[in-house]
Amino acid sequence: MKNIDELFICITNVGYEPKALWGKMSFQHMIEHLTQSVRISNGKLTVACNTPEEKLPTLKRILMSERPLPKNFINPIIGENLLPLEYSSIVEAISALRVEIDDYKNLLKEKPESIFVNPTFGSLNKEEWEVFHRKHFLHHLSQFGLV
């Protein structure tokens, strides 16, 4: 099982700007999107869960299963359109992602009991965030043909 650091290496080892095999995101949009999700898991960005309470147990079971995230899922925070780019370059975006991953790992080392709300899956603990990030990174890396 790959962890977040191993999956991050897949992003940093790309010597070109890959094109998406599906979806609207550019490579930089994808990196910035991953950065936002890690910011949620390290407590720097607070979001509401958009999933009805009664559906959360089923979605959590799916998250914790071997089932991959679906292609062309519409993120409830973003909607149909892309968010404007936050960083001026891919290099800057990758650097910001590294900072957020490091902050996430440090937070969980200091406070392993931390729980933060994911917009789709609700409140997630350390183990659930690890599974989410692995699946989420794999999903977007496969979107760009990198895994």
Asked if residue 26 is part of any domain, the answer here is no
Residue 79 pLDDT > 80, yes or no? no
Asked if residue 61 is part of any domain, the answer here is yes
Q: Is 89 helix (H, G, I), strand (E, B) or coil?
A: coil
Asked if residue 97 is part of any domain, the answer here is yes
Between strands 116-118 and 122-124, the pairing is antiparallel
Share of the chain above pLDDT 90, in %: 80
Residue 84 pLDDT > 80, yes or no? yes
Helix, strand, coil content of the chain in percent (nearest 5) = 50, 5, 45
Contact 60, 128 (CB under 8 A): yes
User: Range of 132's domain?
Assistant: 31-37+57-67+87-147
Asked if residue 2 is part of any domain, the answer here is no
Tell me which residue of 96, 95, 51 sits closest to 76, measured CA to CA: 51
Give the model confidence (pLDDT) of 56-76 as tens digits.
999 999 999 999 998 877 776
Tell me which residue of 113, 110, 111, 118 sits closest to 39, measured CA to CA: 118
Asked if residue 78 is part of any domain, the answer here is no
Contact 140, 30 (CB under 8 A): yes
Q: Is 75 helix (H, G, I), strand (E, B) or coil?
A: coil
What mean pLDDT, rounded, does the chain reach? 93
Asked if residue 22 is part of any domain, the answer here is no
Asked if residue 18 is part of any domain, the answer here is no
Residue 89 pLDDT > 80, yes or no? yes
| Number of separate domains in the chain | 1
Give the model confidence (pLDDT) of 99-143 as tens digits.
999 999 999 999 999 999 999 999 999 999 999 999 999 999 999
Q: How many CB atoms lie within 10 A of CB 60?
A: 18
Residue 1 pLDDT > 70, yes or no? no
Q: How many CB atoms lie within 10 A of CB 8?
A: 21
Asked if residue 19 is part of any domain, the answer here is no
Mean pLDDT of 26-32: 96
